Structure 1
Amino acid sequence: MPTPTNLTIRQQSKILEIAFDDGAAFSIPFELMRVYSPSAEVKGHGPGQEVLQVGKRDVGIEGVEPVGNYAIKPLFTDGHQSGIYTWDYLYKLGKEEAALWQDYLQRLHSAGFEGDSGRAPGTVLPGAQSKPHACGHHH
């Protein structure tokens, strides 16, 4: 399992930068982390129980607590602090960012909250084309 070699919280641009020892590096927006929080209050207690998170486009992270040496617990400015993000999960968020945004925007749209995300539908995701990164190579 890849381990992070570097982790930086960028308060201004609202992204978490994380680099892994397999060479992968991601910039994960706080909003994405928040709406895909692994906590029970977001995930629900089974498939189909997910709670759609809306209005999180401006959410910040005021701090991060380490959880053992396998995860972090971000302290979000909206008071959400129960998500435990494992390295594995952060890796997945970074790797699948484009698909996850698509899915989230789709769900906002279905619920009638279109435009409620900082990602307007149809926007090209930052970094989608620009930087080369390790793509799907399993070591």
Structure 2
Amino acid sequence: MNAPIPTDIKLHQKSRFLEISFEDGARFELPCEFLRVYSPSAEVQGHGPGQEILQVGKQAVGITEIRPVGNYAVCPTFSDGHNSGIYTWEYLYHLGANKAQLWDEYLAKLAATGI
């Protein structure tokens, strides 16, 4: 099942978050750090299950540019130079709908490594 299509995407550079509103009425505020550590790129996710690379030191990262990818995604450029993640509407909706759980999982991984 495909996620709803965004009706509005706003980048708040000063506060470093992306605000996304969807056609079903859902609205998410996704911090740039959260988007960066959950980038769908192979650089972050690896090329298969278990190959994920834990991203550290991304607290101050921002987004400097957002490029559309067809009618199905965006590709942000982060202030640390990362620009290879293509965020589909479905993936952005997933991140927004599961932000609390995903963030807790990320913090637990950091804690487990002593960071």
Q: Structure 1 length as normaliser, TM-score?
A: 0.80
SS at match of 1:28: strand
CA apart distance, 1:38: 0.1
User: What is the number of equivalent residue pairs in this alignment?
Assistant: 113
Residue 15 of structure 2 aligns to a residue whose secondary structure is coil
Higher Cα radius of gyration? 1
Are 1:59 and 2:73 matched, yes or no?
no
Residue 22 of structure 1: how far off its partner (Å): 0.3
More strand by share: 2
Cα distance, 1:112 vs. partner? Answer: 1.0
2:16 paired with 1:4: no
Structure 2 unaligned regions, length at least 5? none
Distance 1:54 1:104 in 2: 10
What value does the CA root-mean-square deviation take over the aligned residues? Answer: 0.5
Q: Please name the residue that 2:20 is paired with.
A: 18
Q: Does structure 1 residue 89 correspond to structure 2 residue 87?
A: no
* Per-residue Cα deviation, 1:102-135 (whole angstroms, up to 9, x for no partner): 000000001111xxxxxxxxxxxxxxxxxxxxxx
TM-score, with normalisation over the residues of structure 2? Answer: 0.97
Identity of aligned residues (%): 60
Residue 31 of structure 1, CA deviation: 0.5
Q: Which runs of 4+ in 1 moved over 2 A?
A: none
CA-CA distance at 1:27 after TM superposition? 0.3
- For residues 21-60 of structure 1, the C-alpha deviation after alignment (integer angstroms, 9 at most, x for no partner) is 0010000000110000000000011111000000000001
